[in-house]
Structure 1
Amino acid sequence: MTQIFATFEYTTLLEIAITELEVHGIRRIYAVPLDLRKKSPRLLDSIHRADGLSFIDKSFVLAFMFATVGASKGFVWEWGPILWGLIGAGTGFAVGLLWSWILYLIERHRLQTEIKKGKKGEVILIVTCEEEQSSLVEDILWDHQALGLAKSP
């Protein structure tokens, strides 16, 4: 006996794949739907938990770029390179923070819209079959747009 694990988006292609597996005599099929995230991610990360959302990475990059331009132009401008470098760094940091905040709000709105529309999450499909049927099962799952596939002996 072999188990094949596949992930699908919740679409009609998943239903068609299950039906086609049943037509070929494979009856041991188990589908597990995954829920979507209900809450929006936290704004600030800790040292033990990070979700990949960072507000200050863009801010520091833009602060460095604006400070470099400000310091180089400061040799020509009245207040000098140090002050214009600091002004550029502060401006770049503020622009990066604003940019990250706007992207966060757009992503949060998109997630809330998906939840309100009732969009389904992904589905994990577990198929138990004989060893000689495993290549047929894999072909059927790939043909119906499986997102990923794993096989256990």
Structure 2
Amino acid sequence: MVIGTFKCSFELEQALGELEHDGISRQKILIVQMDAAPKNTIEFLGGPRDLHANAIEVGMASATASAVIGTAVGFSLELGPILWGLIATFIGFNVGYWLYLFIKKGLHTKRDNDLPEVIVIVQTSREQSVRFIETMWKYGALTVGKASEVKKDAVANVDT
């Protein structure tokens, strides 16, 4: 068995494609996506979820300011202060919301460290294992290992 760990990426797909191209059937490949440690509620503060909450707050503040200006200007325009206040509110909210997201989005982009790890286990012969190890390294595996021969009795004990 050859075992490799990858970040969930396009290189992983390329490595799997090359393994299948080299004659390993899908039944001999096991792929396991690892879960990250669960986050507690304190760690959620300042995360990407709060990005939209903050954008809504900025949008509301911008909508309030725009409503005041729209209402004041609306006294001298044809549709009147109420309609111009509502129009300015809608425009102000959208400008504040989208401008905040546009400016702050770069701070919350997903980094490589945030990508989940994937473990690929390939059951292969000893002769082919060297080639598969090289394939995994070629496509950016984080770690690669080779399991020694597993006895069927040991596997049967694990299953029970």
User: Under a length normalisation based on structure 1, what TM-score does the superposition of the two structures give?
Assistant: 0.48
Larger Rg: 2
User: Under a length normalisation based on structure 2, what TM-score does the superposition of the two structures give?
Assistant: 0.46
Name the structure where helix makes up a greater proportion of residues: 2
